[in-house]
Amino acid sequence: MFGIYGDDAISPAYACYNGLLALQHRGQESCGISVNDRGVIDSYKNMGLVSEVFNKDILNRLKGQMAIAHVRYSTAGGSVRENSQPLVMRYIKGALAIAHNGNLTNAYEIRRELEHRGAIFQTTIDSEAIAYLVARERINADTVEEAVARTMNQIEGAYSLLVMSPQKLIAARDPHGFRPLCMGKIGNSVVFASESCALAACGAEFVRDIEPGEIVVVDETGINSIKDNCPKNKKKSLCVFEYIYFARTDSEIDGISVYESRKEAGRILAREYPVDADIVIGVPESGIDAAIGYSEESGIPYEKGIVKNGYIGRTFIKPTQAERANSVKLKLNPLTSVLKGKRVVVIDDSIVRGTTCDRIVKMLRSAGATEVHLRISSPPFIWPCYYGTDIPSRGELIAVKHTIEEICELTGADTLGFLPPEKLSEMLFNKTDGFCDACFSGRYPTAVPKKTLEGKERGGVDYDQKITKKC
Ligand code: AMP
């Protein structure tokens, strides 16, 4: 998400465009920008990458003083145009635009309750329930921020939000702080972004992260913060996978550099799983930083062993297993001159279904590597995520079905080592006051949903529990 409350010196649409380009790694299915021109909200959104969806003519048409924007990777609700964001509601108090990152854990119940009272939904995403609640609460609340505050006391789970009313731009983060959200400044304009790399992209300076449970309101009177809205007993639970995979390496989240944390994970892997090898390589992009850390700690030289075609989206996005396997080949190519005759340590950020590591090991062997030692800079995935990380049902997770030895056998790796789960806080320099590692530990910071909205369902809790953990 990206948002700007601007002055006349900056085009909010262009600022959003630059911000979204920097956030493209967070979602590549659809994108959109909503601008507010003295109370009138206009939007443009479509399926596709930011550079495909927007052009000069569209951006020039989107005039205004403030704007919010979004890139989407579907974790709740299908990948269709209606589900793209920002969502714009027109209701009795005017217009309201909303952008949301995260997944609600009580979306199903809220939606059913609203539907029983006559609400008609146009999308299948949980974000629409938030928009509906804010609009409903606004009718009896004195201000839009009060409506947002009341909504936050009804929704549960992960949400970083940007809400744009005719007069105000509001940023809010759920009381657990599952997803990141930060604030910056450029001249007299205030900017919000999911990650700090997007602030730099539009020339803004980082000011601070929005705190868990905080609501920041920007209007003509300036910037106001509301911190006493949510109950204080919620434990901070920033998603640790933001550092492992989601975030861009040049972002800093809640005071910790993504790059440094990834390098630290590599150092930990070198201490936990040392091996005699000639070179260390990383699977682009997120595996590279950890490979540099592994090399520093072990003294084994770092090399570029795999080249990535930067014009192909994340392989995970392909719907079928055959398509996923094929796109690994399209996306990554081995550097034979580096690999031939070498004992190789290769680092990737995670193993989910096992498609990527299987292809990588085979690719390295066919390029002449004599040994392949796989190191993974996260623990094994063994539980579903309900907070916005797209993890398939437990039956598809390779670490649920197979032991380390079995994964080595399946992939052809000589050895395999995952980051030990108890070392996750070490990877974050013991600096964070709380993070969520439920996908690795099964310790969920909130009640997990009994039912989810249609379109992206997990395996189901009963089914999930029948499978025993292997790794
Ligand atoms: P897999 O090939 O199924 O084992 O998935 C692992 C690969 O997908 C790794 O190289 C990761 O970089 C990437 N990955 C992991 N989690 C996700 C996710 N939630 N969404 C998209 N890609 C992911």
Tally: H helices and E strands in the chain: 18, 23
Which ligand 1 atom is the nearest neighbour of the CA of 348?
A: 10
Structural domain tally of the chain? 2
Cα 51 from chain centroid (whole Å): 20
Dist. CA 237 → ligand 1 center (Å): 21
| Domain end position, chosen among 187, 202, 234 | 234
Residue 80 Cα to ligand 1 middle (Å): 22
Please give the pLDDT value at position 8.
76
- Closest protein CA for atom 19 of ligand 1: 390
**How much is the pLDDT for 82?**
87
352 CA closest ligand 1 atom index: 4
Q: Mutate which of 320, 346, 356 to test ligand 1's pocket (most atoms within 8 Å of Cβ)?
A: 356
Query: Does some domain include residue 283?
Result: yes
Residue 330 sits in the same domain as residue 215:
no
Q: What is the pLDDT of residue 357?
A: 94
The token pair that represents 247 in the structure block = 């975030």
- Whether residue 334 is contained in a domain is answered as yes
Best residue among 350, 375, 391, 418 to mutate for probing ligand 1, ranked by most atoms within 8 Å of CB: 350
Q: CA-CA distance, 219 to 464, in Å (whole number)?
A: 47
Domain boundary residue, one of 234, 267, 301: 234
pLDDT at 317: 52
CATH code: domain of residue 164: 3.60.20.10
Torsion angle (degrees, nearest 10) of CA 244, 246, 249, 250: -130
Atom of ligand 1 lying closest to residue 353 CA: 3
Beta strands in 58-159 (DSSP E): 66-72, 87-91, 94-101
Q: Atom 15 in ligand 1: which residue has the minimum CA distance? A: 350
> How far does residue 315's CA lie from ligand 1's centre (Å)?
8
**Residue with CA closest to ligand 1 atom 3:** 353
Instruction: Please give, one letter per residue, the 3-state secondary structure of 191-232.
Output: EEECCHHHHHHCCCEEEEECCCCCEEEEECCEEEEECCCCCC
Ligand 1 first shell, C-beta below 6 A: 245, 283, 286, 314, 316, 348-357, 389-391
Q: Which atom of ligand 1 is nearest to the CA of 287?
A: 12
Do 22 and 71 meet the contact criterion of CB atoms below 8 Å apart? no
* 129 & 260 share domain: no
Does a structural domain hold residue 356? yes
Indicate whether 286 and 425 sit together in one domain: yes
CA gap 5, 184 in Å, rounded: 11
414 shares a domain with 310: yes
CA 107–ligand 1 middle distance (angstroms): 25
Ligand 1: centre distance to CA 380 (Å): 12
CA of 352 to the centre of ligand 1 (A): 6
Peptide bond just before 12 cis, omega within 30 deg:
no
- pLDDT for res 222: 96
DSSP string, 290-307: HHHHHHHHH-PPB---EE
Asked whether residue 49 is domain-assigned, the answer is yes
pLDDT given for residue 77 in this prediction: 77
For residue 471, what pLDDT is reported?
Answer: 58
Distance 321 CA to ligand 1 centre (A): 13
Atom 23 of ligand 1, residue of closest alpha carbon: 316
Do 63 and 155 belong to one domain?
A: yes
Ligand 1 atom closest to the Cα of residue 385 is 19
On whether both 150 and 34 belong to a single domain, the answer is yes
Whole-prediction pTM value?
A: 0.93
The per-residue pLDDT for 433 is 82
Q: How close is the Cα of 235 to the center of ligand 1, in Å?
A: 27
| Residue 270 counted as domain residue | yes
At 290, list the tokens: 């950890």
| 225 and 342, same domain (yes or no) | no
Among 328, 352, 407, name the best residue to mutate to test ligand 1's pocket (greatest count of ligand atoms within 8 A of Cβ): 352
Read off the tokens for 436.
């969520």
192 and 261 belong to one structural domain = no
Distance 228 CA to ligand 1 centre (A): 37
Angle between helical axes of 258-272 and 286-298 (0-180°, round to 10): 50
Q: Are residues 219 and 332 in the same domain?
A: no
Question: Do residue 326 and residue 246 come from a single domain?
Answer: yes
Residue at 311 is within a domain: yes
Q: Which atom of ligand 1 is nearest to the CA of 351?
A: 4
Would you list the DSSP string of 261-298? HHHHHHHHHHHHS----SEEEE-TTHHHHHHHHHHHHH
- The answer to whether residue 463 is domain-embedded is no
Q: Tell the residue nearest (CA) to atom 18 of ligand 1.
A: 390
Residues 212 and 304 in one domain: no
Cα 350 to ligand 1 centroid, rounded to whole Å: 6
Q: Is 163 in contact with 215 (CB distance < 8 Å)?
A: no
Q: How far is the CA of 284 from the centre of ligand 1 (A)?
A: 12
With the most atoms of ligand 1 within 8 angstroms of its CB, the residue from 245, 328, 329, 398 to mutate is 245
Which of 218, 234, 250 terminates a domain? The answer is 234
Going residue by residue through the chain, which has 471 residues, state the pLDDT in tens, using 9 for 90 and above: 999 999 878 899 999 999 999 999 999 999 999 999 999 999 999 999 999 999 999 999 999 999 999 999 887 778 888 889 999 999 888 999 999 999 999 999 999 999 999 999 988 888 999 999 999 999 999 999 999 999 999 999 999 999 999 999 999 999 999 999 999 999 999 999 999 999 999 999 999 999 999 999 999 999 999 998 888 788 999 999 999 999 999 999 999 999 999 999 999 999 999 999 999 999 998 899 999 999 999 999 999 999 998 777 654 555 566 666 667 778 899 999 999 999 999 999 999 999 899 999 999 999 999 999 999 999 999 999 999 988 888 888 999 999 999 999 999 999 999 999 999 999 999 988 899 999 999 999 999 887 766 544 443 333 344 444 565
Residue 323: predicted pLDDT: 65
Determine, yes or no, domain membership for 306: yes
| One domain, residues 425 and 286 | yes
Distance 270 CA to ligand 1 centre (A): 22
Between the CA of 400 and the centroid of ligand 1 the distance, in Å, is: 15
Please choose, from the candidates 352, 444, 457, 458, the residue with its C-alpha nearest in 3D space to the C-alpha of residue 402. Answer: 352
Domain of residue 390, residue span: 242-441
CATH of the domain at 324: 3.40.50.2020
